[in-house]
Amino acid sequence: AYDNSPGAIEKVLGGGISQVASCIYLAAFLTDIDITEHHCYPYTVNYSPLGLDAHVIKGSKNLVFTNTFDFPIKIEVSYIDDIINVKIIGTNQKNGKGIQPTVTSTPNSYETEYIEDPELDEGTEILQQSGIVGYEVKVYKKRLINGVELITEYITTETYQARKEIIIRGTKPIDI
């Protein structure tokens, strides 16, 4: 799958694991399954609403949830034409009940670092690394019956790091 780097245009081997985990997480969230371990990606993602992604790393970050229903569930995941579909199948006990995720986000600006390079002509600037705006995201779960909101439950606050912009500036005097 495509990696999550800004401007990524190629698929990479091993890419997409967190994208699949994010789809499973959102399906579990909407099904009201008890989620006991969840981590968001450290930077903003391009495949999920902020606060609703899942970042997994073997041995350190997992997505863990528990079926607390009184019936078994089945998770079906498919990947067709670059689209991931996740279905959680069990006994339908919705009776008009629904869940809607909502988020509020506050942006955190990135800083710009300038590195002076005596080999580059004065007035020349080269962008070495693009900056990424960070966010603080509050995640809520709205519980609905027949489309009418009953209660909004605060779930968590996720922080996406800002990444500084780095610009190389030339300081070599220009001969005139």
Handedness of CA 14, 27, 133, 55 (dihedral sign): negative
Nearest to 6 by CA among 54, 41, 51: 41
Q: Where are the beta strands (DSSP E) in the chain?
A: 34-37, 64-66, 74-80, 83-89, 97-108, 112-121, 125-129, 134-145, 148-160, 165-172
- Residue 52 CA to residue 50 CA, distance in Å, equals 5
Q: Which residues of 68-79 are buried (b: 16+ CB within 10 A; e: fewer)?
A: eeeeeeebeeee
pTM above 0.85, yes or no: no
Q: What is the per-residue pLDDT for 57?
A: 87
Q: What is the per-residue pLDDT for 16?
A: 73
- Residue 51 CA to residue 153 CA, distance in Å, equals 15
- The pLDDT profile of the chain, 176 residues, written as one tens digit per residue, is 555 555 455 666 656 788 899 999 999 999 989 999 999 998 888 888 999 999 998 889 999 999 988 899 999 999 888 788 999 998 776 778 899 999 999 999 999 999 999 999 999 999 999 999 999 999 999 999 998 999 999 999 999 999 999 999 999 998 87
**Sequence letter at residue 146:** N
Q: What is the per-residue pLDDT for 153?
A: 96
Q: What is the per-residue pLDDT for 12?
A: 64
Q: What is the per-residue pLDDT for 18?
A: 85
- Residue 117 CA to residue 151 CA, distance in Å, equals 57
